[in-house]
Amino acid sequence: MLISGYSESSSFNPSYRQSEPGPNGQDRLSALFSGTPSRRIQTKDHVFCEGDMLRHVYRVEAGLICTYRMMPDGRRQVMGFAFPGDIVGLGTGSDHNTSAQAIRPTRLRCLPFAVLCEAMRNDAELTATLYEALAEELRNARELLLSVCHRSAAERVAAFLSALAQRNERRGLDSSNIDLGMTRTDIADFLGLTIETVSRTFTKFRITGLIDIAQCTAIRIVDRSGLERLAAGNISRND
Amino acid sequence: MLISGYSESSSFNPSYRQSEPGPNGQDRLSALFSGTPSRRIQTKDHVFCEGDMLRHVYRVEAGLICTYRMMPDGRRQVMGFAFPGDIVGLGTGSDHNTSAQAIRPTRLRCLPFAVLCEAMRNDAELTATLYEALAEELRNARELLLSVCHRSAAERVAAFLSALAQRNERRGLDSSNIDLGMTRTDIADFLGLTIETVSRTFTKFRITGLIDIAQCTAIRIVDRSGLERLAAGNISRND
DNA sequence: CGGAAAATTGATAGGCGTCAAAACTCGTGG
DNA sequence: CCACGAGTTTTGACGCCTATCAATTTTCCG
């Protein structure tokens, strides 16, 4: 399972750009962002809402953003979490089709969409990079769909924790001690479960020795391979 | 709910291309396809498989394609159905991340990916069109995620039938008499249900007067607004 | 310290998956 | 034209997983 839908550096793979190994689109995107003003927002503040006109594209500098959509009946589907380095707001039409909300104090850089469009018009490399970022989004959305549709609660939570561990690993952080940074509600809405089920599953993992829970939001992974086997569906559901 | 993940003409909305109303990228894409050879495949034949190298992009001329991914445990998630006019195979990295299989005799046009890339490198309009097609994919994947995660079986099936009716309507076809063209298994794997549940739901809809089932694959919609209310979740689940 | 929000734990019920069998569809060949 | 058989669909019985409702405990800040 992938956690963040948005362009994470390590996942770029602009395959259809076969030649021209020179300065790549990612660098150019970084360059675009580096000149922009930064903005600080508090926990629960919205970056944008579903239906808002698309004016800016954002890059998370610090903090944590979650993107979500609401159902007519008031339920919420979290689409992904954007960690520092991730880009939020790409790939919509003229309007945002998700809402984006900070779930802890966050610093963002804001790139006007018009500037990005103008740059894309003159820079095929940059366009290719954004195209790939979007393709990555799509892969993540499909991955999430698979996770949520065809997995038990335990498998979903295990996959979620594994993904966080992998993420920390890629970033050179501690892959055993995970700071969730989000509430049970956020996790539940991401995994298509209820907070009670998420909580019970955490407890079960603690009892079976897969994890340790120091505080609600600080998880220590004790048996990583066990967690990954469970996530992959290789363990009976009544474990 | 949207049925086909892929670029359907009516859904294009290249918002970030603000100027240049001239010949648009869609026309250019059509032009690219019109020179390609066409290929006929039979029901159950694969167009490509998950993990295959990305060599071609396809446009469905006639028939019906379904794209899907497999879970490690053998379960299948249908990602979408591609009807005539839809494009299949976009937006992956260097490999396909879904499989695509004909579920009835189908005719395709095959555009070599290298040709498309070359064209994109020289044609910002075309690139913009493909970018939008990808964004549309992403919207559809998210829509499907919402459908599948937070809706009851009846709501999902109702949404599915409504979407088919809307699709027929947009195409100027009969919006009441729907030819599914797919098996219960395909529908079940798309909606994240079992074939038994799909079948039972169809039966319940027939009994409650929402639909008529002439043959397994030929559905007549009797109470369209009822179906749409149900799809929207506005009716109690024990209806 | 105090109060609100979040998390945990428990009891219960119901929807949907699973297993099983019967009915139906449709293409093939006699 | 009818019969046959494989594949698909329908129907039924049953049980499990998870949502729901409810109460308590813990966490987090002011």
- pLDDT band for position A235 (cuts 50, 70, 90): low
Provide the pLDDT for residue B106: 92
Pair (A135, A186) in one structural domain: no
Show which of residues 27-46 on chain A sit within 8 Å of chain B, judged by CB atoms.
Answer: none
Pair (A24, A122) in one structural domain: yes
Pair (B128, B160) in one structural domain: no
Pair (A122, A142) in one structural domain: yes
Backbone angles phi, psi at A210, to 5 degrees: -80, -35
Pair (A20, A109) in one structural domain: yes
Provide the pLDDT for residue A2: 55
Out of A75, A79, A234, whose CB is closest to B150? A75
Asked if B141 and B5 touch (Cβ cutoff 8 Å), the reply is yes
Determine, yes or no, domain membership for A236.
no
The letter for the amino acid at A222 is V
Mean pLDDT along residues A135-143 = 85
Concatenated DSSP letters of A3-43: S--S--GGG---TT--S--SS-HHHHHHHHHHTS-EEEE-T
Mean pLDDT along residues A135-144 = 85
Torsion of CA B16, B22, B26, B31, to 10 degrees: -150
Q: A116 is written with which tokens?
A: 């990005």
The yes-or-no verdict on residue B162 having pLDDT over 90 is yes
CATH number at residue A192: 1.10.10.10
Mean pLDDT along residues A55-70 = 94
CA distance B227 to chain A (A): 16
- Tokens 């829970």 map to which residue? A213
Pair (A131, A20) in one structural domain: yes
B137 touches chain A (CB under 8 A): yes
Share of chain B above pLDDT 90, in %: 52
Pair (B67, B171) in one structural domain: no
- pLDDT band for position A74 (cuts 50, 70, 90): confident
User: Based on C-alpha coordinates, what's the Rg of chain B?
Assistant: 18
Pair (A131, A170) in one structural domain: no
Pair (B136, B166) in one structural domain: no
The yes-or-no verdict on residue A167 having pLDDT over 80 is yes
Give the chain B residue nearest A67 (alpha carbons).
B142
Q: Which nucleotides of C are covered by protein (CB under 7 A)?
A: 6-11, 15-20, 25-26
Say yes or no for a CB contact (<8 Å) between A144 and B146: no
The yes-or-no verdict on residue A130 having pLDDT over 90 is no
Determine, yes or no, domain membership for A16.
yes
Provide the pLDDT for residue B10: 27
Domain of A192, in residue numbers: 151-231
Determine, yes or no, domain membership for A237.
no
Asked if A187 and A160 touch (Cβ cutoff 8 Å), the reply is yes
CATH number at residue A38: 2.60.120.10
Contacts of B79 in chain A (CB under 8 A): 142, 145
- pLDDT band for position A26 (cuts 50, 70, 90): confident
Pair (B192, B217) in one structural domain: yes
Determine, yes or no, domain membership for A4.
no
Pair (B137, B161) in one structural domain: no
Segment B17-37, tens digit of pLDDT: 333 444 577 788 889 998 899
Say yes or no for a CB contact (<8 Å) between A144 and B145: yes
Domain end, chosen from A148, A177, A212, is at A148
Q: Using the CB atoms, write b or e for A169-188: b if 16+ within 10 Å.
A: eeeeeebeebebbbebebbb
Determine, yes or no, domain membership for A238.
no
The yes-or-no verdict on residue B15 having pLDDT over 70 is no
Give the chain B residue nearest A17 (alpha carbons).
B117
Pair (A110, A213) in one structural domain: no
Mean pLDDT along residues A179-205 = 96
Question: What total number of domains does chain A contain?
Answer: 2
Interface probe for B, chosen from A121, A130, A148, A229 (most Cβ of B below 10 Å), is A121
Determine, yes or no, domain membership for B23.
yes
Mean pLDDT along residues B102-130 = 88
